[in-house]
Amino acid sequence: MKIDIISVVPDLMESFFSHSILKRAKEKGLLQVNLINLREHTTYKHGQVDDYQFGGGAGLVMMVEPLVNAIESLQKNTVYDEVIFLSPDGENFDQRMANKLSLKNNLLLICGHYKGIDQRVRDHFISKEISIGDYVLSGGELGAAVIVDAVGRLIPGVLNDETSALTDSYQDDLLAPPVYTRPEDFRGWKVPAVLLSGNHAAIEVWRNQESLKRTQERRPNMLE
C-alpha cells in the first residue's frame, strides 16, 4: 500500500513513521508513506500557501492553487483509490473504516491547517472527508498519523501475528477483554484461574463474556 500525505509541516510526522510497527512495515516493503511539502507546489513568494478569507473573518485559509498543483502533480504518477481530507466536520473515523481503507492500494491524505482549505478543492478533488474526533486540532497531521497507524497495522504481514489485529477492540463490535501476563500472583492480585487452565474452549467463553461485560459497562451504545 502507498499513502501520500500533503502537509504544510511534513517534518512534524517524520519521527512518527520511523519507529515501531510502521517502520517495520516500510522495511518489509508492505507500506510506503510519502510526505509532500505543500510549500514546494506554490507559485507565490516566500512559499505562501494561505491567505485571508473572502468575506472577512478571523483565520487564514489554505489557497486553492498550491493544493491543486500538488494533487495534480501526484496524480500524474498515481491513481488514488481515495483522496482524503482530514477535517473536524468529516465522517468519524472508526475501526470499520480502517478495515475498508486497509484494502485499498493508494491513498492521498490532505492535512488542513488554519481555518481549513479553499472549498473548491473539497468540491472538485476530495473523495472522502474524515474526522478522528469531535474536537479541533491545529492541523490535520495528527489525524493523518492516526489513520496511517490504524490502517497500516491491518495490512497482512505487518504484524508478526496477523490474528492479533482480528482480536482488537471494535473488530467484532465489542471491546477487547482484560489481558494478563506474568507473574501469576502479584501482591495477592491473581490472574483468573480459567486463563491458566489450558482449556481453550473455556478460555474463549470467558473472553467473550468479559468482552460483552466490558462493552456493556463502558460503551453500551455499541450493543444497540
In a domain, 157, yes or no: no
Asked whether 130 and 143 are in contact (CB, 8 A), the reply is yes
Residue where a domain terminates, one of 103, 127, 152: 152
Cell of 110: 490532505
Task: Note down pLDDT in tens along the chain; length 224 residues.
Answer: 999 999 999 999 999 988 888 898 999 999 999 999 999 999 999 999 999 999 999 999 999 999 999 999 999 999 999 999 999 999 999 999 999 999 999 999 999 988 999 999 999 999 999 999 999 999 999 999 999 999 999 998 998 776 667 677 678 889 999 999 999 999 999 999 999 999 999 999 999 999 999 999 999 999 98
| Cell 482449556 sits on residue | 199
Cα separation values, 118 from 1, 55, 126, 203, Å: 29, 13, 12, 54
Q: Is residue 159 part of a domain?
A: no
Is the domain of 42 the same as that of 76? yes
Q: Taking a C-beta distance cutoff of 8 angstroms, is the pair 36, 7 a contact?
A: yes
Note whether residue 48 is domain-resident.
Answer: yes
Q: Please give the Cα distance from 43 to 69 (Å, whole number).
A: 9
One-letter identity of residue 85: F
Q: Are residues 10 and 37 in the same domain?
A: yes
CA distance 76 to 18: 27
CA distance 19 to 90: 28
Q: Are residues 27 and 79 in the same domain?
A: yes
CA distance 22 to 39: 26
Contact 41, 66 (CB under 8 A): yes
Is residue 172 located within the same domain as residue 148? Answer: no
Domain boundary among 102, 128, 152: 152
82 and 181 both lie in a single domain: no
* CATH number for the domain that contains residue 85: 3.40.1280.10
Do 16 and 76 lie in a common domain? yes
CATH of the domain at 194: 1.10.1270.20
Q: How far is Cα of residue 53 from the mean position of the Cα atoms in its chain?
A: 29
Owning domain of residue 180? 167-223
- Residue 166 has φ and ψ, to the nearest 5°, of -70, -20
Q: Which amino acid is at 74?
A: L
Whether 65 maps to a domain, the answer reads yes
Give the per-residue pLDDT at 73: 98
Query: Looking at the structure, do residues 177 and 126 belong to the same domain, yes or no?
Result: no
Asked whether residue 71 is assigned to any structural domain, the reply reads yes
Structural domain includes residue 138 = yes
The total number of structural domains in the chain stands at 2
Same structural domain for residues 18 and 46? Answer: yes
Do 96 and 201 lie in a common domain? Answer: no
